[in-house]
Amino acid sequence: MRPCATTWDAEMSAAEHGLLCRLLREGDWHDRHLEVGTAAGGTLAAMMNCYEPGKRPQFVVVDPMAYFPDQPAIVRQNLTRHGLTADDVDFRVGTTVELLPAAASARQTFDFMLIDGCHRLSWVMQDLKWTRLLNVGGVVCLHDYAPKHQGVVCAVDRFLARHPHYSEIARADSLIAIRKDREASQLEVGWSDEWYARLRSVPLAIERKWNRLKRNAA
């Protein structure tokens, strides 16, 4: 079980939280904010508290809520502990693959996104599909963009290389922030990206197992 299940702490550093709050306070955003993967809700609470009550945009959380036992109850209690209420959050229980079609069909849009779900390449690529709902000028942040999490690194690097209408605007520790500078002429994540993720996932899985064996043998 992850430590956050008992400590209720956010799984980000102080520098990463600082960058999130700076982006939110400087963004002048009013449309929905999306968090993919909320764990115990510590980072969600921190982001919500970057706004004054009454001026807070709608927060949407996408999460299967199976990260650890009683996750939904813990998230709600954690929000209460930070002076917030879960009634102000639109919790959507499920995976991004399951929930994106309904959001797209309803033509929902977002000004800000934080992607911090499963770090495997194929899943990060699926999460990045939500950027097709990101408004121009909006920002998507991805956590654990670091050598330890090659799935995140590979997905983000390919995304930026294929889409020049997105640009990196900031980093703090393993948090990277990317801005949508103009509308896309093609889907942000297409079939070729999905095939890339499937093929690249095989050597990444082998590398993870090899590194795990080396650590156990040390």
Report how many domains make up the chain. 1
pLDDT of 162 > 70? The answer is: yes
Round to whole Å and give the CA distance between 205 and 105.
34
Comparing 2-6, 34-38, 128-132, which segment has the lowest mean pLDDT?
2-6
> Which residue in 171, 190, 61 sits closest to 116, CA to CA?
61
Beta-bridge partner residues of 166:
180
Indicate the DSSP class of residue 174. Answer: T
Structural domain of 194: 4-217
- Which of 189-197's residues contact partners 24+ apart within 8 Å by CB, and which partners? 189/125, 189/126, 189/128, 189/129, 189/131, 189/132, 189/159, 193/125, 193/158, 193/159, 193/162, 194/122, 194/125, 196/125, 196/158, 197/121, 197/122, 197/124, 197/125, 197/154, 197/155
The per-residue DSSP string of 108-145 comes to --EEEEEE-S--SHHHHHHHHGGGGGEEEEEEEEES--
Q: pLDDT band for 206, please (50, 70, 90 cuts).
A: low
Round to whole Å and give the CA distance between 180 and 178.
7
Cβ burial 125-152 (10 Å sphere, 16+ → b, else e): bbbbbbbbbbeeebbbbbbbbeeebbbb
Residue 134 makes CB contacts below 8 A (sequence gap 6+) with 109, 110, 111, 113, 140, 180
Task: Classify 178 as helix, strand or coil.
Answer: strand
Give the Å distances, CA to CA, from 177 to 86, 104, 113: 26, 23, 10
The per-residue DSSP string of 14-67 comes to HHHHHHHHHHHHHS---SEEEEE--TTSHHHHHHHTTS-TTSPPPEEEEE-S-S
pLDDT tens sequence across 121-157: 999 999 999 999 999 999 999 999 999 999 999 999 9
Q: Are 91 and 121 in contact (CB under 8 A)?
A: no
pLDDT of 78 > 60? The answer is: yes
Give residue 121's pLDDT. 93
The letter for the amino acid at 83 is G
Read off the pTM.
0.90
pLDDT of 214 > 70? The answer is: no
Q: pLDDT band for 68, please (50, 70, 90 cuts).
A: confident
Q: How many CB atoms lie within 10 A of CB 207?
A: 11
The CATH number that applies at residue 150 is 3.40.50.150
Tokens of 55: 């001026």
